[in-house]
Amino acid sequence: MVIDCVIPEKGESLIDAYNKWRGWADEKVCCDYALRVALPPTLTNQMKKDMQELTSTDFGVNTFFFDMAPKGEMYANYNTF
How many domains would you assign to the chain?
1
Helices (H) and strands (E) in the chain, counts: 2, 3
Q: Is residue 79 part of a domain?
A: no
Give exposure, 37-54, as e/b (b: 16+ Cβ within 10 Å).
bbbbeeeeeebeebbeeb
With bands split at pLDDT 50, 70 and 90, how would you rate the model's confidence at 80?
very low
Q: Is residue 49 part of a domain?
A: yes
Q: Is residue 9 part of a domain?
A: yes
Q: Is residue 31 part of a domain?
A: yes
Q: Is residue 77 part of a domain?
A: no
Structural domain including 9 reads 2-69
Q: Residues 8-50: pLDDT tens digits? A: 998 999 999 999 999 999 888 889 889 999 998 788 899 999 9
Q: Is residue 19 part of a domain?
A: yes
